[in-house]
A and B are shown apart, each in its own frame.
Chain A
Amino acid sequence: MFGESFVLLSASADAGFLAKLNDPAGLNLGDIIVTVLFFSILMILLKKFAWGPLMGVMDQRAELIATEIEAAEKSRLASEQLLEEQRALLKEARENAQSIVDNAKKQGEAQREELVVAARAEVNRMKESAAIEIAMEKEKAVAAVREEFVSLSILAASKVLGKEISEEDNRALIEETIVKAGEGR
């Protein structure tokens, strides 16, 4: 059988070698032809219908993955840059806000100081004017009382003396007396 065929193959170096080869008891040349033919056809068909398209898809995928990775890398860089920018902006904004708050505080302080000073001055001014007014009123009242007292004194004196005392003649005297009386009090 098969074993024999190889024994034959090695042993038959004689003239009938090819004849022996192509013999059902030896080798089936037909099988060899059919094997090569079938395998070649299978390979060609598979390349056309199966491996070709599959390889195409796999290559496409590899390409897609490569571009995707590249794009991801790019967008990562872009976002990193953006983040850095945003961070800088935020820092700047924070500094601005801080300075604004500081300024406002300072301004407020100054304003408060100013207000307090103004209020104090106003109070002082009002106090002073009130004092002046009081003094003036007092002066006026004293003068009025004095005048009234002079008239009353003259009236009383004229009644006591029983005669008309000329106001014009004695006023100077009376007033002198009143001042003395005032001093004596």
Chain B
Amino acid sequence: MNHENPSFELFGIYFNPANIMMLFITCLIVFLIAFFSTRNLKMKPTGMQNFMEWVMDFVKGIIKNNMDWRTGGRFHVLGITLIMFVFVANMLGLPMAVVWKGELWWKSPTADPVITMTLATMVVVLTHFYGVKMLGAKGYFKTYLQPMPFLAPLKIIEEFANTLTLGLRLYGNIFAGEILIGLLASLGATSAFGLAGALIPALAWQGFSIFIGAIQAFIFVMLTMVYMAHKVDTDH
């Protein structure tokens, strides 16, 4: 389990090529799925178009749960991309983990806290950006005094707590899932007896991990929209 991460330096900045590769693969898969399922679109949808429309309606439902569609419509693209990206990223580490020369190359990109925290920070920064954009600077700072001015310190702490929990929840779920799959796989690799013992739990855990991956993608988008609604909706 204690694999090193590959690393290289460019312009004085350190990169993890494994992360970059997995992110690229994730983006590629998401793009290909979305691209090929939206070719020759029809009024009466068939096959993959149905699926993509279901995803769109699903995200639309999430947004509508949290805010007015006139406000929330602009986050639709963000929501769909985010849910597809996080879901595919969660799935990538399930079938295998590839370690080469002691360095972990193939894994879920979301099993890396740097990536999940980056996504979480990006989302929270976007909420602040849209908060200022839609309510104006004055309205944006006013939200910190709501509902009671003396709660302002808590509101500021909340922002950091939101970012941390949003990123670490995703990381923790996926990383833990991969650890357990790795343990079961190493148990299965020890002997025929070990294989027999590990087979059923490994299958069960992988099935459960698919469920967790889907749920975490949903939760990530859900919370994104909740935080967004806190910042852009004056009614809440």
Using a CB–CB cutoff of 8 Å, the interface residues on chain A facing chain B are 1-2, 5-6, 22-24, 27-36, 38-39, 41-43, 45-47, 49-51, 53-58, 60-61, 64
Contact = CB atoms under 8 A, between A and B. Distances in A.
Nearest to A40: B122
Nearest to A54: B38
A47 B77 contact: yes
Contact of A58 (B53, B113, B122): B53
B12 A35 contact: no
B7 A28 contact: yes
A40 B41 CA distance: 25
Contacts of B42: 57
Contact residues of B: prevailing secondary structure: helix
B13 A43 contact: no
Given A41-B27, A42-B30, A30 B38 contact: no
Interface centre among B2, B12, B19, B24 (most CB of A within 10 A): B19
A181 to B, nearest CB: 126
B215 to A, nearest CB: 21
7 contacts: A28-B15, A30-B14, A31-B19, A50-B34, A51-B77, A53-B38, A55-B76
Interface in B9-52: 10, 12-16, 19-20, 23-24, 27, 30-31, 34-35, 37-38, 41-43, 45, 49, 52
A24 B31 CA distance: 30
A43 B78 contact: yes
A171 B178 CA distance: 169
Interface centre among A29, A42, A61 (most CB of B within 10 A): A42
A24 B103 CA distance: 13
Interface residues of B, number: 44
A5 B113 contact: yes
Interface string B56-98: 1000000000000000000011101100010000000000000
B114 A45 contact: no
A149 to B, nearest CB: 123
Given A33-B13, A46-B34, 19 more contacts: A2-B171, A28-B14, A28-B16, A29-B13, A31-B118, A34-B19, A34-B20, A35-B19, A35-B109, A35-B114, A35-B122, A39-B119, A41-B27, A43-B77, A49-B38, A50-B37, A51-B80, A57-B42, A57-B43
B14 A45 contact: no
Contact residues of A: prevailing secondary structure: helix
B89 to A, nearest CB: 10
B15 to A, nearest CB: 3
A172 B34 CA distance: 150
Nearest to A56: B41
Contacts of B113: 2, 5-6
B112 interface: yes
A60 B37 CA distance: 18
B23 A49 contact: no
A58 B42 CA distance: 9
A39 B85 contact: yes
Contacts of B2: 1
A30 B81 contact: no
Interface in B93-136: 109, 112-115, 118-119, 122
A51 B53 CA distance: 10
A6 B164 CA distance: 11
A30 B23 contact: no
B27 A38 contact: yes
A36 B35 contact: no
